[in-house]
């Protein structure tokens, strides 16, 4: 009986550990970030290309556009909130684009 309870307890803790590890946010994925070439592979005479400014804001705009597209083509109205959510998404996209516009140096 004690062995069964201990085994069940260990199994439960392992399942919970894996559930938390897989659901925890990790480092942002770098699929959209430009890769910097190795220093030895770069010719000495060319200047390094500057890193993209504010990649997180650009990713947020892309994500908001995808969410808006999903909401526009959804079969249901999300409890009556779809129209207002689309309106708010448009405003969020507009605000983020203004942020990028006014950050130009």
Give the integer Cα–Cα distance in Å for 42 and 36.
Answer: 9
Residues in the chain: 105
Per-residue pLDDT of the chain (105 residues; tens, 9 = 90+): 666 656 555 555 556 555 544 444 554 555 555 555 555 555 555 556 667 788 999 999 999 999 999 999 998 888 899 999 999 999 999 999 999 998 875
Give the integer Cα–Cα distance in Å for 65 and 94.
Answer: 11
Give the integer Cα–Cα distance in Å for 104 and 78.
Answer: 38
**Statement: the pTM of the whole predicted model exceeds 0.75:** no
Give the integer Cα–Cα distance in Å for 13 and 76.
Answer: 39
């Amino acid at each position: 009986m004690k062995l069964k309870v201990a085994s069940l307890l260990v199994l439960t803790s392992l399942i919970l550990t894996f559930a938390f590890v897989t659901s925890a946010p990790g480092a942002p994925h770098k699929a959209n970030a430009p890769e910097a070439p190795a220093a030895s592979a770069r010719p000495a005479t060319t200047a390094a290309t500057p890193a993209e400014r504010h990649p997180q804001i650009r990713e947020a705009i892309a994500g908001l556009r995808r969410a808006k597209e999903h909401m526009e083509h959804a079969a249901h109205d999300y409890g009556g909130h779809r129209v207002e959510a689309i309106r708010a998404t448009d405003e969020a996209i507009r605000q983020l684009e203004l942020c990028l516009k006014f950050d130009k140096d």
